[in-house]
């Protein structure tokens, strides 16, 4: 492995690149790669995904990182950095590690206050000057087992991250080989391979240290401690130039790692609010498209089966408020069926934009609610009602105006088959599990339950796929055969991309 002497001269002249063989042409970062981090976030990707950071964000050990004025959520992410030692394109998985020149420690700092408007790209939130400290030393990759590296992070001397590459969802050679099938990796390029659980917020005055080592290797090679001190910036952002920083409890939870760490109270069951932007996306995204995207992410069992809409053509979107019925037993109904029971409490407390979801075990031999409770839910501003049981006063309920999905009409009262038992807990409805706060989306194809942590991602993906499918439908309508077009082969993909650039 060789390096360009001019690159080395550039590195020596600029302290930002002192730990590297030269200024890298590109820095590629993995969004989510450790199982511990995925479990913490409540979502596990099926495949690795990436974003770019500018080389101007690099910084040496012993430097500082600035938290800008007007922001609060500067998060550290200790990571293993791979530095390419050879030009790499279309490499086999078993050969990929041979193309890595060196390994070091890195800190992928990110400003969550700027994350929402750059979601996915992370340009402003992670591309700022000094937001990629790296070093202080490089370890020769050829002497290392890529499955036996250790990553540790300390904040003010306290160990906060401690994981190994055995805990990766995507092994390091896979990341290299996957990237190399899409683009050329050049000598000196840096790959940031993701962070494990323990990433959190750093405040001015904090000292963050990152170290990568190989404990089982002879001599226990190490990158040394990468030290960065957080400082407070003084210059405000100019609102006339672009969107300003903003933070909400969702970003605070993700930045700190949990609601508890962020100093927030536990989430109230069924009170997971949707932002107007996310609600609009979900209202535009078809249930079939959301189902497809969830399946791509490993979630097949998310549809509430056996229910039909009383208002075809109306979309239902909202966080779930859950209600559970148990099979009728006369002695239990006497204690739980009367008065202000769980059923009535659920309808009395449903919030605006929420969806009442009822577990009736697929039992259709009685109603699970009638027109009075439908009126109450409508008056409270509920977005809809979903039950895998029957509905009394079916025609009257339809006239109330609140969208309902049910197993159909039935004239019998609740107590014939059910005892209203409890609310705001995990239930089963139509063969799928529903938790309070899960996002329920219904249209003429049916009803699907979307985990909140995936909602934005699958909504964006479903809408993007809808645009592709609409274009394909136009081509089929124009007389083209579906062979090679659905799904698109390389030729049709090129045509689609050319069309996109001119429309």
pLDDT in tens, the chain (503 residues): 434 444 445 555 788 898 899 999 999 999 999 999 888 776 778 889 999 999 999 999 999 999 999 899 999 999 999 999 999 999 999 999 999 999 999 999 999 988 877 766 889 999 999 999 999 999 999 989 999 999 999 999 999 999 999 999 999 999 999 999 999 999 999 999 999 999 999 999 999 999 999 999 999 999 999 999 999 998 888 888 887 888 777 788 888 888 788 887 765 554 556 788 889 999 999 999 999 999 988 899 999 999 999 888 889 999 999 999 999 998 888 878 877 888 998 998 888 889 999 999 999 999 999 999 999 999 988 999 999 999 999 999 999 889 999 999 999 988 899 999 998 889 999 999 999 989 999 999 999 999 998 899 999 999 988 888 788 888 889 888 888 877 788 887 788 778 877 77
Which residue in the block uniquely carries the two structure tokens 């009535």? Answer: 344
Q: What is the spatial distance between Cα 34 and Cα 345, in angstroms, rounded to a whole number?
A: 42
Hey, what CATH class is 276-455 in? alpha beta
**Residue from 501, 322, 331 nearest 426 by CA:** 322
Fill in the DSSP letter of residue 29.
E
**Residue from 270, 315, 265 nearest 438 by CA:** 270
Fill in the DSSP letter of residue 244.
P
Q: What is the pLDDT of residue 224?
A: 95
User: What are the residue ranges of CATH 3.50.30.40 in the chain?
Assistant: 276-455
Q: What is the pLDDT of residue 261?
A: 86
Q: What is the pLDDT of residue 85?
A: 95
DSSP 55-119: GGGEE-TTEEEEE-TT---EE--EEEEEEE-S-BSS--GGGGGGGEEEEEEEE--EEGGGTGGGT
Q: What is the pLDDT of residue 6?
A: 43
Q: Under a CB-based contact definition with an 8 Å cutoff, are residues 31 and 178 in contact? A: no
Hey, what CATH class is 5-256 in? alpha beta
> Strand 100-107 vs strand 139-140: parallel, antiparallel, or unpaired?
antiparallel
- What is the rounded end-to-end Cα distance, in angstroms, of the chain? 45
CA 302: distance to chain centroid?
17
CB atoms within 10 A of CB 134: 30
User: Backbone phi, then psi, for 128, in 5-degree steps?
Assistant: -70, 160
Q: Under a CB-based contact definition with an 8 Å cutoff, are residues 176 and 88 in contact? A: yes
Q: Under a CB-based contact definition with an 8 Å cutoff, are residues 223 and 212 in contact? A: yes
Q: Under a CB-based contact definition with an 8 Å cutoff, are residues 108 and 77 in contact? A: yes
Q: Under a CB-based contact definition with an 8 Å cutoff, are residues 190 and 97 in contact? A: no
Q: What is the pLDDT of residue 272?
A: 53
C-alpha count within 13 angstroms, C-beta hemisphere, residue 317: 20
CB atoms within 10 A of CB 205: 10
User: Backbone phi, then psi, for 400, in 5-degree steps?
Assistant: -60, -40
User: What are the residue ranges of CATH 3.90.850.10 in the chain?
Assistant: 5-256
Axis crossing angle, helix 490-502 with helix 455-477, rounded to the nearest 10: 100
Q: Which residues of 384-394 are buried (b: 16+ CB within 10 A; e: fewer)?
A: bbbbbbbbbbb
**Residue from 112, 148, 102, 120 nearest 3 by CA:** 102
């Amino acid at each position: 492995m060789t390096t360009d002497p001019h690159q080395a001269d550039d590195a020596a002249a600029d302290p930002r690149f002192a730990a590297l063989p030269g200024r890298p042409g590109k820095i590629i970062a993995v969004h989510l790669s450790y199982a511990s981090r995925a479990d913490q976030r409540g979502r596990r990707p099926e495949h690795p995904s990436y974003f770019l950071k500018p080389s101007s964000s690099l910084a040496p050990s012993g430097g500082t990182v600035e938290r800008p004025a007007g922001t609060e959520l500067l998060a550290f992410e200790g990571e293993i950095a791979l530095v390419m030692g050879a030009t790499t394109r279309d490499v086999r998985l078993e050969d990929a590690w041979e193309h890595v020149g060196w390994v070091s420690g890195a800190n992928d700092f990110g400003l969550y206050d700027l994350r929402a408007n750059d979601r996915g790209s992370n340009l402003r939130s992670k591309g700022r000057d000094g937001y990629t400290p790296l070093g202080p030393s490089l370890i020769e990759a050829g002497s290392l087992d890529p499955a036996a590296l250790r990553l540790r992070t300390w904040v003010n001397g306290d160990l906060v991250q401690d994981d190994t590459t055995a805990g990766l969802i995507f092994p390091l050679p896979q990341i290299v080989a996957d990237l190399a099938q899409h683009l050329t990796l050049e000598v000196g390029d840096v790959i940031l391979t993701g962070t494990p659980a323990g990433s959190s917020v750093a405040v001015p005055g904090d000292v963050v240290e990152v170290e990568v080592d190989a404990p089982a290797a002879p001599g226990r090679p190490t990158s040394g401690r990468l030290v960065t001190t957080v400082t407070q910036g003084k210059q405000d952002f100019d609102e006339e130039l672009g969107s300003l920083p903003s933070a909400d409890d969702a970003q605070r939870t993700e930045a700190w790692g949990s609601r508890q760490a962020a100093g927030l109270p536990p989430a109230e069951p069924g009170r997971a609010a949707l932002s107007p932007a996310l609600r609009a996306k979900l209202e535009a995204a078809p249930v079939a498209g959301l189902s497809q995207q969830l399946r791509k992410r490993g979630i097949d069992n998310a549809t509430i089966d056996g229910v039909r809409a009383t208002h075809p053509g109306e979309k239902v979107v909202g966080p779930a408020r859950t209600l559970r019925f148990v099979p009728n037993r006369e002695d239990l109904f006497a204690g739980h069926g009367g008065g202000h029971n769980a059923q009535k409490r659920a309808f009395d407390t449903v919030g605006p934009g929420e969806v009442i979801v009822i577990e009736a075990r697929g039992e259709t031999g009685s109603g699970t609610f009638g027109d009075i409770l439908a009126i109450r839910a409508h008056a409270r501003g509920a977005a809809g009602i979903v039950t895998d049981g029957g509905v009394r006063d079916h025609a009257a309920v339809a006239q109330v105006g609140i969208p309902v999905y049910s197993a159909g009409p039935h004239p019998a009262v609740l107590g014939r088959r059910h005892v209203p038992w409890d609310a705001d807990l995990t239930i089963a409805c139509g063969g799928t599990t529903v938790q309070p706060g899960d996002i329920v989306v219904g249209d003429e194809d049916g009803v699907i339950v979307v985990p909140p942590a995936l909602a934005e991602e699958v909504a964006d993906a479903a809408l993007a796929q809808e645009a592709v499918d609409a274009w394909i439908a136009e081509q089929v309508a124009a007389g083209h055969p579906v062979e090679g077009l659905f799904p698109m082969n390389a030729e049709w993909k090129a045509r689609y991309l050319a069309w996109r650039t001119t429309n």
